[in-house]
């Protein structure tokens, strides 16, 4: 399928892609609402559709990619510069996770490596693609760091492992992986695979924590990010994979021609603009303040145990204790269910994941939401531990 080489500059008549030149099936009020909240399309001289919804979206998204490069070109880790040739943009990070599997793994033959506890979508995509999983657990809480010797040994022993998915900050751990550990794996002397670093929560970590620009240094590194978390744009489903140019070319060749919709692109442009970054930074500061508040105040609630992960994300992982003061899945599960069913507060039970015995994962909310959560948790633990 050919992508059109021509865009609507106000003079071209585009009859090459079976588009509807009369515009979208939206009334004037709907078009006005879209127009007021998104970028206008200056190329649409007739004013029929300011968003250009009657045209297929830009298949390349070079302007958006350049904004994302500008965001991550900190030169904290390399003097080299990311360019749009280093980027793949997809429908959330999930599209990149799946695309990488299809690029590098032969179904029924190859494997990926994961480090539990970790994001569940790696396993889901592997199962869908008939790719087996080798698991090397993270080091014990609270560090949840990479077990570099064990991972290196697994990669040396099994050439069928083609991708290692690492999550930093981790989910559900909230812990940032050490740069030195990631680099050690990138420099593995014999393994010929790809390290995929998932940085979905990186904007909650300290400044310059992102290793995205290292894809310009290492031919075997891919760094995934998203606008769903710190940018608060989960509804537009925009994920990013920074990669060496040859890998980015593979990913872009594999994707559907128009995988990023025009509204998604317009909203993403706004989110990573100077004005959008200012809003993100303001909201992030509020989240961090409430995160610190939870850490301080939750410690005084009877039945709450240790913080088991890091604090480099917008969630926290805490133990729930039984009457004997031990982390207990039964207590954590009961608290999770009762919080949701009787208090209207929904958190996530994570006790069945490796190294997370008795743990609940708590997303940081607004001041009002945190106040309600803390009160509800105190009451709930009194009930379930009685």
Q: What is the mean pLDDT of residues 85-109?
A: 96
The answer to whether the 62-272 and 277-384 domains have the same CATH topology is: no
Architecture of the domain spanning 62-272:
3-Layer(aba) Sandwich (3.40)
∠ CA 306-171-141, nearest 5°, is 35
Q: Taking a C-beta distance cutoff of 8 angstroms, is the pair 365, 359 a contact?
A: no
Report in angstroms the alpha-carbon separations of 28 from 24, 57, 161, 262, 380: 10, 21, 54, 19, 50
* C-alpha gyration radius of the chain: 23
Q: Give the other-Cβ count within 10 Å of 347's Cβ.
A: 20
Single out the residue of 96, 92, 65 nearest to residue 235, CA to CA.
92
Q: Taking a C-beta distance cutoff of 8 angstroms, is the pair 281, 308 a contact?
A: no
Terminal-to-terminal C-alpha distance of the chain:
65
User: What would the pLDDT profile of 320-375 be if each residue is shown by its tens digit?
Assistant: 999 999 999 999 999 999 998 888 888 999 999 999 999 999 999 888 889 999 99
> Would the pLDDT of 236 be above 50?
yes
Residue 90 is given by DSSP the state E
Residue 3 is given by DSSP the state P
Residue position matching structure tokens 């994920």:
239
pLDDT at residue number 153: 98
Burial of 187: CB neighbours in 10 Å, binned 0-12, 13-18, 19+: exposed
User: What would the pLDDT profile of 248-261 be if each residue is shown by its tens digit?
Assistant: 999 999 999 999 99
Report in angstroms the alpha-carbon separations of 129 from 112, 116, 382: 11, 20, 45
Rounded to 5 degrees, φ, ψ at 132 are -75, 165
Q: Which has the higher per-residue pLDDT, 53 or 271?
A: 271
Single out the residue of 193, 219, 225, 222 nearest to residue 105, CA to CA.
193
In the chain, domain spans: 1-56, 62-272, 277-384
User: What would the pLDDT profile of 45-60 be if each residue is shown by its tens digit?
Assistant: 445 666 677 888 999 9
Q: What is the mean pLDDT of residues 293-317?
A: 95
- Write the CATH number of the domain with boundaries 277-384: 3.90.1150.10
C-alpha–C-alpha distance, residues 338 and 332, integer Å: 10
DSSP of 156-183:
HH-TTEEEEEEESS-TTT-PPPPHHHHH
């Amino acid at each position: 399928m050919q992508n059109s080489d021509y865009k609507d500059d106000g003079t071209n008549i585009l009859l090459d892609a079976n588009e509807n030149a009369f515009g979208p099936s939206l009334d004037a009020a709907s078009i006005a609402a879209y127009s007021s909240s998104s970028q206008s399309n200056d190329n649409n001289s007739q004013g029929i559709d300011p968003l250009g919804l009657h045209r297929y979206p830009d298949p390349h998204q070079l302007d958006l990619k350049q904004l994302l490069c500008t965001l991550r070109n900190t030169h904290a880790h390399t003097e080299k510069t990311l360019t749009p040739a280093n980027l793949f943009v997809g429908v959330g990070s999930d599209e990149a996770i799946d695309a990488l599997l299809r690029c590098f793994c032969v179904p029924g033959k190859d494997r990926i490596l994961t480090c539990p506890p970790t994001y569940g979508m790696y396993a889901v995509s592997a199962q869908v693609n008939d790719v087996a999983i080798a698991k090397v657990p993270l080091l014990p809480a609270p560090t949840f760091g990479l077990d570099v010797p064990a991972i290196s040994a697994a990669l040396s022993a099994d050439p069928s492992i083609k991708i290692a998915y690492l999550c930093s900050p981790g989910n559900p751990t909230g812990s940032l992986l050490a740069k030195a550990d990631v680099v050690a794996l990138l420099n593995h002397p014999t393994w010929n695979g790809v390290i995929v670093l998932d940085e979905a929560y990186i904007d909650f970590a300290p400044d310059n924590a992102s290793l995205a620009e290292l894809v310009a240094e290492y031919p075997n590194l891919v760094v995934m990010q998203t606008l769903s978390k710190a940018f608060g744009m989960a509804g537009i489903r925009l994920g990013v994979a920074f990669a060496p140019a040859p890998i980015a070319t593979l990913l872009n060749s594999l994707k559907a021609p128009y995988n990023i919709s025009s509204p998604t692109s317009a909203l993403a442009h706004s989110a990573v603009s100077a004005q959008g970054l200012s809003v993100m930074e303001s909201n992030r500061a509020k989240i961090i303040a409430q995160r610190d508040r939870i850490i301080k105040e939750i410690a005084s609630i009877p039945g709450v145990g240790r913080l088991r992960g890091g604090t480099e994300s917008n969630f926290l992982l805490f133990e729930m204790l039984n009457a004997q003061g031990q982390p207990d899945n039964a207590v954590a599960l009961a608290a999770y269910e009762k919080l949701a069913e009787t208090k209207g507060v929904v958190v996530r039970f994570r006790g069945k994941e490796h190294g997370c015995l008795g743990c609940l994962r708590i997303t940081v909310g607004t001041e009002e939401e945190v106040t309600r959560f803390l009160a509800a948790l105190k009451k709930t633990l009194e009930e379930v531990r009685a």
